[in-house]
Copies of this chain bind each other. A is one copy, B any other.
């Protein structure tokens, strides 16, 4: 607040300022108002409470996903926007089925249960489950080196932890997630009967973390499960004592026919360059274990909040602002592809797209996937954004859902909101991603940061 008054005083004191600096001052005042509105208002927090607690986990194709589509549309319908609409898209429909069972089976049949869950898209083990010896590896390459002799008939246990020394936890994720996404393919090539993958989690706890895994059409599809980090530690320890230890895995998920679903879109039309579009978005689908509060209910309510702030402050954006709740980020990105496809068909001009899909934590900056001129222009706004803790503004990653827009034009800057990453992988894709992990102020600061950048993009374009 001190900053706010300093600026206001300097206007009255110095009267006729140069245009450029008056513009900066006026922008800084608008941005201050954006943060004031976000921090003083609880709408987005209350919306997320509803989405999380009343609707819950909403995997593509589920009844909950359908409820989330209808509810977010209804929320935006109330806001007096210029347009609210659904964009139809067919999505994969995978269902987890009965609760998974994982047991270490030692000598004399002694069994110890550990927490496992099916990875998203996995096939089942059959009702009787699979029992086999376990071979522990630290990488995809190691499977090949061991070869069929050591791997065939076994369950391959991928147990390379996320490297904790990365300050940005996403770097630790990038360095470990190949085990989850490609482990089943590599293991099956050498005759494995199933894979168990250490959860992508920097903490030691009892939550198995799901997430997308892939099959190769030319390789046998084998069941793929995730094991909690505590379970992985225990299993690894037990294998050192007893290399012939067996593991019993039972999971019976199913892939049903594709289902009809929707991207949900709300729009404020630009007052001057209405054909230039700025997207703000998150994804409405989530994994099924938790309630998807951070991944990515947060991004959805923040996108809606950008529009609410504009309306409340009576900001008339020069360019069109479109808030999108994308469907199916987690296991197919069909919503993202659909949106880009229709944008191409309609020859729409997207200036920029901002995605929030890294949790509703305190924002620390923006990663920009775009042309160098985009990066440098956005970096010129640093003095306006740094007072709000947004220091990390530079070349980086945009987002999964907005990614397909890059194919339409390299003139569209794809921008990812970068929140503090330390807590994200404790709850990511797990039953622990629940509303109690959301902090109202952190969520609001993320929304305000998106709104501030959206405002600047709508004023000046790129």
Contact = CB atoms under 8 A, between A and B. Distances in A.
A422 interface: yes
A171 B40 contact: no
B171 A1 contact: yes
Given A1-B171, A202-B441, A40 B422 contact: no
A418 to B, nearest CB: 11
Interface string A373-397: 0000000000000111101100000
A420 B361 CA distance: 10
12 contacts: A1-B171, A35-B165, A35-B167, A39-B164, A167-B389, A167-B445, A202-B441, A386-B391, A389-B391, A391-B391, A420-B420, A426-B439
A252 to B, nearest CB: 34
Interface string A194-214: 000000001100000000000
Interface in A144-164: 163-164
A167 B2 CA distance: 11
A155 B203 CA distance: 48
A391 B440 CA distance: 24
Contact of A422 (B169, B203, B426, B441): B441
A459 interface: no
Nearest to A32: B165
A164 B40 contact: yes
A433 to B, nearest CB: 15
B423 A39 contact: no
State how many copies of this chain the complex holds.
2
A165 B422 contact: no
A99 interface: no
Given A39-B167, A389-B391, 14 more contacts: A36-B165, A39-B164, A39-B165, A39-B166, A167-B387, A203-B440, A362-B362, A362-B420, A389-B392, A391-B391, A420-B420, A423-B439, A423-B442, A426-B439
A441 B388 contact: no
A180 interface: no
A364 interface: yes
A388 B422 CA distance: 12
A422 B420 CA distance: 12
Contacts of A1: 163, 165-166, 171
Interface in A29-51: 35-36, 39-40
Interface string A264-291: 0000000000000000000000000000
Contacts of A422: 362, 439, 441-442, 445
Contacts of A423: 439, 441-442
A449 to B, nearest CB: 10
B164 A441 contact: yes
Contacts of A442: 422-423
Interface string A170-207: 01000000000000000000000000000000110000
A444 to B, nearest CB: 8
Contacts of A389: 167, 364, 391-392
Contacts of A169: 441
Contacts of A171: 1
Contacts of A441: 164, 169, 202, 422-423
Interface in A427-442: 439-442
Contacts of A166: 1, 39
Contacts of A167: 35, 39, 387-389, 445
Contacts of A420: 362, 420
A298 to B, nearest CB: 14
A186 to B, nearest CB: 24
Interface in A345-364: 362, 364
